[in-house]
């Protein structure tokens, strides 16, 4: 993608971030400092062809998942320093990276520290995918005896035990009922 197109997309993303909407062709004239609606149309068409925008059934431009993508510059070790990453970035959307089933995925804010040894801390957001199919060792959203919790699923000799990842918490053994609502697929933490 040419540099000028990337710059136009960046300006459009900034506007969208501030206003939570895209502009009309008339408004794009002033945003991009163009004199001709045809020039705006050409840029919009290029952004549609690149997959960043689409048009709804009435012709209004709308963002796609790719519109929200970020530059992924490669890998960086968390150990010893290495040379600077290559500046050729690919674009990736956090939604595409984290969410396999958008219609079955939601966020929850974590309270409590029972999973801190797994790196799930109070205030984190967890991505939960609705499912009843669970494997040993997965972190699940469960309703145990009418109370909700996030714990590690473990099934031994036909009995389910929900484990914490913090030594100060005892395993939970359901007394009356247990419903597994979903599996944690990711953790999001914002640093200040």
For helices 37-49 and 3-19, angle between their N-to-C axes, nearest 10 degrees: 90
One of 19, 24, 36, 151 is an active-site residue; which one?
151
Annotated active-site residue 132? The verdict is: no
Name 144's bridge partners: 147, 178
114 included as an active-site residue: yes
Task: Sheet containing 105-109: give its strands across.
Answer: 105-109, 125-130, 178-188, 139-144, 147-156, 159-163
Out of 55, 69, 114, 190, the active site residue is 114
- Among candidate residues 68, 182, 187, the one with its CA nearest the CA of residue 127: 187
Cα three-residue angle 66-130-160, rounded to 5 degrees: 140
For residue 67, how far is the Cα from the chain centroid?
14
Residues acting as catalytic residues = 114, 151
């Amino acid at each position: 993608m040419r540099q000028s197109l990337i710059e136009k997309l960046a300006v459009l993303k900034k506007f969208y971030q501030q206003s939570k909407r895209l502009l009309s062709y008339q408004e794009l004239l002033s945003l991009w400092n163009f004199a001709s609606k045809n020039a705006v149309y050409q840029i919009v068409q290029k952004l549609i062809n690149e997959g960043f925008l689409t048009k709804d059934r009435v012709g209004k431009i709308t963002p796609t998942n790719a519109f929200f993508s970020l530059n992924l510059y490669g890998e960086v070790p968390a150990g010893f320093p290495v040379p600077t990453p290559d500046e050729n970035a690919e674009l990736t959307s956090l939604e595409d990276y984290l969410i396999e089933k958008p219609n079955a995925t939601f966020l929850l804010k974590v309270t409590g520290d029972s999973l801190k040894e797994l790196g799930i801390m109070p205030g984190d957001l967890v991505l939960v995918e609705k499912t009843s199919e669970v494997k040993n060792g997965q972190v699940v959203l469960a309703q145990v005896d009418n109370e909700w919790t996030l714990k590690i699923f473990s099934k031994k000799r036909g009995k389910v035990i929900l484990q914490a990842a913090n030594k100060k918490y005892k395993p939970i053994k359901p007394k009356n009922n247990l419903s597994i609502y979903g599996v944690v697929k990711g953790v999001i933490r914002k640093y200040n």
